[in-house]
Structure 1
Amino acid sequence: MSQEQSLEPVEGPVLSRAEGMTGRERVLTALAHQEPDRVPIDFGSTWITTIHADAYEQLKRHFDIDSPTVIMERMQQACFVDEHILQHLDVDTRGVFYGLPELACNQWMELPDNCFRDAWGITWQRPPTSYYYDMIQPALPGDITISDVLNHQWPDPHDPGYTRSLQQRVKAQRAGTDRALVLNISVWFVQCSQFIRGFEDWFVDMAANPRLMSVLFDLLTDIMLGTIGDVLAEVGDLVDVVSVSDDIGMQDRTTVSPEMYRRLIKPRQARAFRFIHDRTPAPLMYHTCGSVYAIMDDLIEIGVNALNPVQTDAAYMEPDRLKREFGDRISFWGGINSSRILPWGTPEQVRDEVRRVIRTLGPGGGYILNSVHNIQPNVPLDNFIAMFEAAREFGTYPLAEQ
Structure 2
Amino acid sequence: MTHRERVLAALNHQEVDRVPVDLGATRDSSIVKEEYLRLKEYLGINGNRPIRLLNRMMQVVEAEEEVLEYFDVDLRGVGPGPPEKGGDKELGENRYQDEWGVVRVKPPGSFYYDLVDSPLSGPLASSDIMNYGWPDPHDPGRIKGLREKVERLRGSTDYAIVLSLPSPFVHISQYIRGFEDWFIDSVANPRLLGMLCDAILDVTLAMCGDALEEVGELVDIVFCADDLGMQNGPIVSPEIYRRLFKMRHKRYLQFVHDHTSAKLAFHTCGSVWDLLDDLIEIGVEILNPIQVAAAKMDTIQLKKRYGKHLSFWGAIDTQHILPHGTKEDVEREVKRRIGHLARGGGYILSAVHNIQPDVPPSNIVTMYEWARSCSVSTKS
State the TM bucket, normalised to the shorter chain. Answer: over 0.9
The reply on whether 1:263 has 2:243 as its aligned counterpart is: yes
Q: CA deviation at 1:113?
A: 4.2
Which of the numbers 184, 188, 192 marks the counterpart of 1:212? 192
Aligned equivalents of 1:182, 1:277: Cα separation in 2: 15
Q: Does 1:398 align with 2:377?
A: yes
Tell me how far apart the structure 1 counterparts of residues 277 and 27 of structure 2 sit (CA, whole Å): 26
**Is contact 1:187–1:272 with CA below 8 Å preserved after alignment?**
no
Q: Distance in 1 between matches of 2:231 and 2:168?
A: 19
Contact 1:189 1:221 (8 Å CA) reproduced = yes
Query: CA separation in 2, counterparts of 1:179 and 1:56?
Result: 22
**Structure 2 CA distance for aligned equivalents of residues 43 and 63 of structure 1:** 18
- Is 1:65 the counterpart of 2:40 in the alignment? no
- Aligned partner of 1:305 in structure 2 is 285
Measure how far apart 1:261 and its partner are.
0.3
- Contact between 2:147 and 2:214, CA under 8 Å: does it hold in 1? yes
Q: Which runs of 5+ in 2 are unaligned?
A: none
Shift of 1:72: 1.3
Task: Give the aligned residue type for 1:398.
Answer: S
Which stretches in structure 1 are left out of the alignment for 5+ residues?
Answer: 1-20
Write the mapping of 1:274-313 to structure 2, written as runs, cut at 5 A: 274-313=254-293
Amino acid at match of 2:53: I
| Rounded Cα–Cα distance in structure 2 between residues aligned with 1:164 and 1:131 | 30
Q: Which amino acid aligns with 2:199?
A: L
Residue in structure 2 matched with residue 74 of structure 1 by the alignment:
56
**What's the CA shift string for 1:241-267, capped at 9, x where partnerless?**
011011010101100000100111110
Distance 1:166 1:341 in 2: 37
Hey, what's the Cα distance between the residues in 2 that align with 1:285 and 1:398? 27
Q: Which amino acid aligns with 1:176?
A: S
The DSSP-based 3-state class of the residue aligned with 2:233 is coil
Give the ranges of 4+ consecutive aligned residues of structure 1 lying more than 4 Å apart after TM superposition.
none
**Residue from 317, 321, 342 that aligns with 1:362:** 342
Q: Does 1:184 align with 2:194?
A: no
Question: 2-side partners of 1:398 and 1:352: how far apart?
Answer: 16
Deviation at 1:129, TM superposition (A): 2.0
User: Which residue matches 1:13?
Assistant: none
Match of 2:81 in 1: 99
Name the counterpart of 2:115.
135
Q: Deviations over 1:54-93 (max 9, x none)?
A: 0011122223223221111000001011101111110000
Q: Give 3-state SS (helix, strand or coil) of 1:263's partner.
A: helix
Task: Using the TM superposition, give the Cα deviation of residue 319 of structure 1 relative to its aligned residue in structure 2, in angstroms.
Answer: 0.4
Distance 1:360 1:256 in 2: 29
Q: Distance in 2 between matches of 1:184 and 1:26?
A: 20
- The answer to whether 1:195 aligns with 2:171 is no
CA distance in 1: counterparts of 2:145 and 2:95, whole angstroms = 31
Match of 1:234 in 2: 214
One-letter code of the match for 1:256? V
Separation of aligned partners in 2, 1:292 and 1:26: 27
Alignment check: 8 A CA contact 2:78 2:146 kept: no
SS for the counterpart of 2:29 is coil
Aligned partner of 1:87 among 55, 58, 69: 69
Q: TM-score, normalised by structure 1?
A: 0.92
Say if 2:36 is the partner of 1:56.
yes
1:247-258 map, 5 Å: 247-258=227-238
Equivalent residue, structure 1, for 2:322:
342
Distance between the aligned counterparts of 1:335 and 1:249, measured in 2? 15
Q: Which residue of 2 aligns with 1:155?
A: 135
| CA distance, structure 1, for counterparts of residue 130 and residue 7 of structure 2 | 42
Answering whether residue 10 of structure 2 is matched by residue 27 of structure 1, we say no
Q: Distance in 2 between matches of 1:390 and 1:108?
A: 40
- Alpha-carbon distance in structure 2 between the residues aligned to 1:128 and 1:71: 19
What whole-Å deviation, never above 9, does each CA across 1:336-381 have from its counterpart, x for those lacking one? 0001000001111000000001000010100000000111111001
State how far apart, in whole Å, the 2-side matches of 1:27 and 1:362 are.
12
- The 2-side partners of 1:130 and 1:240 are apart by 36
Equivalence for 1:4: none
Is 2:358 aligned against 1:378? yes
- The one-letter code of the counterpart of 2:45 is D
SS of the counterpart of 2:376?
coil
Report the alpha carbon displacement of residue 155 of structure 1 after superposing the two structures with TM. Answer: 0.1
Is the Cα contact below 8 Å between 1:116 and 1:125 reproduced in 2? Answer: yes
**Range with bigger deviation, 85-94 or 166-175:** 166-175
Q: Distance in 2 between matches of 1:165 and 1:350?
A: 39
- Computed over aligned residues only, the root mean square deviation of the Cα atoms, in angstroms, reads 1.1
In the alignment, the residues of structure 2 paired with residue 99 and residue 294 of structure 1 have an alpha-carbon distance, to the nearest angstrom, of 34
Q: Quick check: 1:63–1:85 contact (8 Å CA) kept in 2?
A: no
Partner Cα separation in structure 2 for residue 29 and residue 63 of structure 1: 34
Could you say what secondary structure the match of 1:94 adopts?
strand
Asked if 2 retains the 8 angstrom alpha-carbon contact of 1:52 and 1:375, the reply is yes
| SS of corresponding position for 1:232 | helix
In 2, Cα distance between the equivalents of 1:250 and 1:196?
A: 20
**3-state SS of the aligned residue for 1:398?**
helix
The normalised TM-score by structure 2 is 0.97
Q: Which residue of 2 aligns with 1:3?
A: none
Q: What is the alpha-carbon distance in structure 1 between the residues aligned to residue 246 and residue 206 of structure 2?
A: 19
